[in-house]
Amino acid sequence: MSVRQSLLAILDQGPCYGYQLRAEFDRRTGSTWPLNVGQIYSTLDRLERDGLIEKGETDEHGHVYYSITDAGSLEVASWLDSPVDRGQGTRDALAIKLALAATLPGVDVATVIRSERDASLAQLRRLQLAKRPPADPAEIEDLARELVVDSMVFAIEAEVRWLDHSERLLAERPAHAMALELSAQMPKRGRPANAETGVDAPTS
Burial 73-92 (b: 16+ CB within 10 A, else e): eebbeeeeeeeeeeeeeeee
Taking only the tens place, the pLDDT of each residue in 63-93 is: 999 999 999 999 999 999 988 877 776 778 8
pLDDT score, position 172: 83
Asked whether residue 204 is domain-assigned, the answer is no
Rounded to the nearest angstrom, the gap between the alpha carbon of residue 178 and the centroid of all alpha carbons in its chain is: 30
pLDDT score, position 135: 59
Helix (H) or strand (E) holding 155: helix 140-171
Q: Which residues contact 75 (CB under 8 A, 6 or more apart)?
A: 5, 8, 52
Taking only the tens place, the pLDDT of each residue in 11-33 is: 999 999 999 999 999 888 877 78
57 and 101 fall within a common domain? no
Residue 160 has pLDDT above 70, yes or no: yes
Backbone angles phi, psi at 183, to 5 degrees: -75, 140
DSSP 66-104: EEE-HHHHHHHHHHHHS-----SS---HHHHHHHHHHHS
- Of 18 and 34, the structure prediction assigns the larger pLDDT to 18
Residue 14: domain span: 3-80
pLDDT category, 132, cuts 50, 70, 90?
Answer: low
156 and 120 fall within a common domain? yes
What is the value of pTM for the model shown? 0.68
Residue 3 has pLDDT above 50, yes or no: yes
Distance of alpha carbon 149 from alpha carbon 41, whole angstroms = 27
Please give the share of the chain, as a percent, with pLDDT higher than 90.
Answer: 48
112 and 61 fall within a common domain? no
| Domain stops at, among 80, 103, 135 | 80
171 and 98 fall within a common domain? yes
pLDDT score, position 196: 46
pLDDT score, position 203: 47
129 and 62 fall within a common domain? no
Mean pLDDT of the chain: 85
Rounded to the nearest angstrom, the gap between the alpha carbon of residue 202 and the centroid of all alpha carbons in its chain is: 22
Total domains present in the chain: 2
On whether the CB atoms of residues 151 and 75 are closer than 8 A, the answer is: no
pLDDT score, position 181: 75
| Domain stops at, among 80, 111, 134 | 80
Taking only the tens place, the pLDDT of each residue in 110-129 is: 999 999 999 999 999 998 88
Backbone angles phi, psi at 58, to 5 degrees: -110, 130
pLDDT score, position 197: 52
Residue 60 has pLDDT above 70, yes or no: yes
